Amino acid sequence: MVFQLTVPGFLAILIVTAPGASSWDCPSPCRCYDEAVDCSHKNQSRIEENMFDRTGAERLAVLNLENNQLTSLPDHIFDPLWGLKSLNLNHNLLQVLGVSLFSKLKDLEFLDMKGNQLSSLPVGLFAFQKELVSLDLSDNLLSTLDIGVITPLMNLNTLLIGGNRLVCDCRLQPVATWNNGKLNRTDAECHSPPQHNGHSWYMVTSIECPSPLSTPTIPPSIDMTPGPEIQQSTPVTRTRTEAPPARPSIRLGDVNVYAISIVLIAVLIILTLVVIGTMVFIYCYKRLRGGSTHVQDCGEE
């Protein structure tokens, strides 16, 4: 309950200790306090990109956008809030998040995105969240989590991801392995395959998966980012390029088809003449043996 207690509690303390209007330019229809803005339960379906681009926005520590109807967020909506510590986006209708959505929130410590419709998270979404300690992704539509999404979160100790349909297979293994022993709390459970339903996702660490080294060589036409494996394969490609040419071998395609045709025709003509001459010789020989009276006929023939 680390995150669930910390964020609302922090917001409540700010509201109690600093009632009334704040000293910064408060966006409508939110309620604003010295270091907190509450935009929850406003039935908002969309927000403008410059909604928080206001004087004093950098001092904001807590932003609450929970329980609205937001299906998407502008990519740079949070850029002015670079001092934000806690962001609550739970129980909206978010389906896709832009990779640069949180790029300016380098001091963010608590992020709640529970109860949305997220089926995937782009690699690089948390590239700058080195200080994030609690992430709530519960009750979304996630089936897996890319290792590139989660590894930047070096200080993460609480990951809530229950209520998703996690498939415990080799795609999920790198994340479970990376988090094993690192997190103080997680409720990650397998949804499928059926034999692992309800088990902790850490069981996937015991699955035998193909080694990355055994994967087929990637054709040069495919662009991979980043590429330590491709960088290692560069010398091999250079070696193949500089290797001496192999000794020539005779191939059927290198032979002149026209010359072969001429030779075959000549052979056929010779064989035909030999056959005809043989037949004439046999015929004359039989005639000669039949009587001298036929010699003249054979000669004429």
Highest mean predicted confidence (pLDDT) among 14-28, 46-60, 241-255 = 46-60
What CA–CA distance (Å, rounded) separates 204 from 144?
12
What CA–CA distance (Å, rounded) separates 98 from 75?
5
pLDDT at 214 > cutoff 60 = no
The pTM is what? Answer: 0.64
Residue 107 φ then ψ, to 5°: -100, 5
Please report the pLDDT score of residue 80 as a whole number.
95
Please report the pLDDT score of residue 75 as a whole number.
94
Tell me what the pLDDT averaged over the chain comes to. 80
User: Mean pLDDT throughout 272-286?
Assistant: 86
CATH code for 1-210? 3.80.10.10
pLDDT per position as a tens digit, 102-159: 999 999 999 999 999 999 999 999 999 999 999 999 999 999 999 999 999 999 999 9
Please report the pLDDT score of residue 151 as a whole number.
93
Cα separations (Å) of 71 from 88, 127, 197? 15, 23, 30
pLDDT per position as a tens digit, 60-119: 999 999 999 999 999 999 999 999 999 999 999 999 999 999 999 999 999 999 999 999
DSSP state at residue 156: -
pLDDT per position as a tens digit, 32-50: 988 999 999 999 999 999 9
- Residues in CB range of 12: below 8 A, 6 or more apart: none
Residue type, 139: D
| Domain residue limits, the chain | 1-210, 263-300
CB 62 within 8 A of CB 7: yes
First to last CA, the chain: 119
**Higher pLDDT pick, 234 / 99:** 99
Task: Please provide the size of the chain in residues.
Answer: 301
Please report the pLDDT score of residue 215 as a whole number.
44
